[in-house]
C-alpha cells in the first residue's frame, strides 16, 4: 500500500505539497498587498489572488490523488486550468487595455483560443492510450497556443502604443508576454516528455507543477510590481 500521507522519497508528492503552501502564501500576499496598489491595479491584484487561491484548492486535492494512487490528477488539473487560464486572459486584457486601445473582440479571440488549447490537451491526456488522439490533440492545442502568441506579438495586442499608458503598465504587459511565451512553454514540453515513448508520469507532474508555480505566482508578482511601483503613485492609473 502506498503511504497515504506523504512519503519523503516521493519527490513528486513533495512538489505538490510545496506548491500548495506557496499558492496559499501567494494568495494571502496578493490580497493584503492590494491595499498598497493604486486605482484600477487593485482589481488586477484581486484577480491574481483568485488565480492562486483556486490553484491552492486544487493542489490540495491533486496532492491527495497523487499520494494515494500514484496517477496523474488529470481531472483536477484541467478543472483548475479551465478556471485559472481564462482569469489570466482577463488579467492580460486588463493590463493591455490600460496601456493601449484594444477591441473587446480581441479578448474573445484570446479566450476562445485558450479554451481550445485546454480542451484539446484534456482530450489528448484522457485518451493517452490512443496515439492518434494523444498527438492529434497535442497539435491542435499547440496551434491554439501559437495563435495566442501571434496575437500578442504580431497581431492587434502587440501594437502597444509606447506613448500611451504608464511605464509600469507597459512593463507589466511585456513581462506577461514573456510568461505566456516561456512560462507556458513548460506545459507542452511536459506533455511531450510525459507521454513520448513509455511515458513518464512523474516527469509530467513535475513539469506541470513547476509550470504552475512560475505561471501563477510569477505572473501575480509581475502585476504586483507594476501595481506598487513608484511611478504609479498618486496617478490613480
**What residues make contact with ligand RET under the rule CB under 6 A?**
81, 84-85, 88, 117-118, 120-121, 138, 141-142, 145, 184, 187-188, 191, 212, 215-216
Q: If you search the block for the grid coordinates 501594437, which residue do you land on?
A: 159
CB of 112 to ligand RET, least distance (A): 15
Pick from 230, 236, 210, 233: nearest CA to 59: 210
Q: Which is nearer to ligand RET, 142 or 158 (CB)?
A: 142
Angle at the Cα of 95 from the Cα atoms of 158 and 23, rounded to 5 degrees = 120
3-state secondary structure of 22: helix
Minimum CB–partner distance for residue 60 and ligand RET (Å): 16
Q: In the complex with ligand RET, which residue's Cβ is closer, 118 or 237? A: 118
Cell of 1: 500500500
User: What is the Cα–Cα distance from 90 to 202, expressed in whole angstroms?
Assistant: 32
Q: DSSP label at 7?
A: -
Distances in Å between the Cα of 101 and the Cα atoms of 32, 43, 138 are: 30, 19, 33
Within 8 A by CB and 6+ apart from 208, the residues are 77, 186, 187, 190
Tell which residue, 98, 92, 16, 87, has the closest CA to residue 49. 87
For ligand RET, the closer CB: 41 or 191 = 191
Query: Measured from the CB of residue 11, what is the shortest distance to ligand RET in angstroms?
Result: 21
- Residue 102 or 210: the one with the smaller Cβ distance to ligand RET is 210
CB-wise, 88 or 166, nearer to ligand RET? 88
Evaluate the CA torsion angle 227, 102, 78, 12 in order and state its sign. negative
Could you tell me the smallest distance in angstroms from the CB atom of residue 104 to ligand RET? 22
Q: Smaller CB distance to ligand RET: residue 74 or 166?
A: 74
CB 34 to ligand RET: min, Å: 20
Residue 119: CB minimum distance to ligand RET, A: 9
**DSSP labels, 122-157:** HHHHHTTT-HHHHHHHHHHHHHHHHHHHHHHHTSGG
Residue number with CB closer to ligand RET (6 or 65): 65
Residue of minimal Cβ distance to ligand RET: 121
Closest separation between CB of residue 232 and ligand RET, Å? Answer: 26
Amino acid at each position: 500500500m502506498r503511504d497515504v500521507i506523504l512519503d519523503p522519497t516521493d519527490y513528486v508528492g513533495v512538489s505538490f505539497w510545496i506548491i500548495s503552501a506557496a499558492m496559499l502564501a501567494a494568495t494571502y500576499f496578493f490580497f493584503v498587498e492590494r491595499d498598497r496598489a493604486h486605482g484600477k491595479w487593485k482589481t488586477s491584484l484581486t484577480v491574481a489572488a483568485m488565480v492562486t487561491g483556486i490553484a491552492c484548492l486544487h493542489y490540495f486535492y491533486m496532492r491527495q490523488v497523487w499520494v494515494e494512487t500514484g496517477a496523474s490528477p488529470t481531472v483536477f488539473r484541467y478543472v483548475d486550468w479551465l478556471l485559472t487560464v481564462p482569469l489570466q486572459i482577463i488579467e492580460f486584457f486588463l493590463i493591455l487595455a490600460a496601456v493601449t486601445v484594444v477591441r473587446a473582440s480581441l479578448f474573445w479571440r484570446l479566450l476562445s483560443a485558450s479554451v481550445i488549447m485546454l480542451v484539446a490537451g484534456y482530450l489528448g491526456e484522457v485518451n493517452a492510450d490512443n496515439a492518434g488522439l494523444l498527438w492529434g490533440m497535442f497539435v491542435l492545442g499547440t496551434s491554439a497556443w501559437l495563435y495566442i502568441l501571434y496575437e500578442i506579438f504580431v497581431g492587434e495586442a502587440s501594437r502597444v502604443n509606447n506613448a500611451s499608458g504608464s511605464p509600469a503598465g507597459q512593463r507589466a504587459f511585456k513581462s506577461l508576454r514573456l510568461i505566456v511565451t516561456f512560462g507556458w512553454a513548460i506545459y507542452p514540453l511536459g506533455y511531450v516528455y510525459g507521454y513520448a515513448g513509455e511515458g513518464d508520469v512523474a516527469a509530467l507532474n513535475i513539469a506541470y507543477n513547476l509550470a504552475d508555480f512560475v505561471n501563477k505566482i510569477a505572473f501575480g508578482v509581475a502585476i504586483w510590481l507594476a501595481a506598487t511601483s513608484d511611478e504609479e503613485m498618486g496617478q490613480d492609473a
